[in-house]
Amino acid sequence: MARCNVCFRQCEIPEGSLGFCGGRICREDSVTADNYGKITSMALDPIEKKPLRRFHPGSLILSVGSYGCNLRCPFCQNYEISWSKEAEHFRKNSDVVLPEEVAQTALYYQNAGNIGVAFTYNEPLIGYEYIRDTARLVHKLGMKNVLVTNGTAQLPVLQELLPYIDAMNIDLKGFSEEYYKDVLGGDLSTVLKFITEAAKHSHVELTTLIVPGENDSEEEMRQMTRWISELKDIDGRRIGADIPLHVSRFFPRFHMTDREPTEVRHIYRLAEVARENLRYVYTGNC
């Protein structure tokens, strides 16, 4: 048995078993990434789809993902590879794509407008070793690395990746500990610490999915964006007001089909509220 130190769960994993995320395994009394190189999705996407609006706009990026996740969002858009019975299929049947192959594929598409590699689709940080190894090679080729994450990881994991990551989109799914714990199975304080450190070293954009009846109040948006506006760079200068926020519309999905899609006008209203504290606020899924 060994302890996994990637996220707040600190799973104690028996030999040969998987942790809560379904992507890490105990082998020979050590926890490693069972999903290392097991790619379930690879596509050349517009950078705006990550979403990143203020990082090389108009470019393309090679997006890769594996399987597994350390949250349990009932509305998950990628549940087939994140957490479901279907995800087990990918664990057993995905081909391994080596870091060298991903880096060379990114380079192959450079003439088509590709700027690098985005680690996305499932929760990439549960397989951070693969990100580290691949991103290092991508940097050596003079290309960029993007991380799309829920931010539910301990700071030593982030510190190991920071030298190789040029931009991140981090989910800040709400601003109450109850919502994170009771609905998402997560930990808000872990995410806030992650964002605070990431903003010191990398281009960061944030995304909040607005779920009716859960995280959709104007007061919560004000509290959240005030907090964002106070973020500082590594030299202690306030940069938070310039961090882009993507306010995204919810649609019924997976295990959360008991409510209607978020009203478009409410998304626009919450975006107005966010602009009280932030300069760059974008609406999504509208």
Percent of the chain with pLDDT over 70: 99
pTM reported for the whole predicted model: 0.96
**For residues 106-114, average pLDDT:** 97
Instruction: Give tens-digit pLDDT for 219-265.
Output: 999 999 999 999 999 999 999 999 999 999 999 999 999 999 999 99
Residue 91 has a pLDDT of: 72
Task: Name the residue range of residue 206's domain.
Answer: 2-284
Residue 93 has a pLDDT of: 77
Residue 84 has pLDDT above 70, yes or no: no
Confidence band, pLDDT 50/70/90 cuts, at residue 82: confident
**For residues 97-106, average pLDDT:** 98
CATH of the domain at 112: 3.20.20.70
CA angle 72, 77, 80 (to 5 degrees): 75
Residue 57 has a pLDDT of: 97
| Nearby residues of 199 by Cβ (< 8 Å), 6 or more positions away | 231, 232, 233, 239, 240, 243
Q: How many domains does the chain have?
A: 1
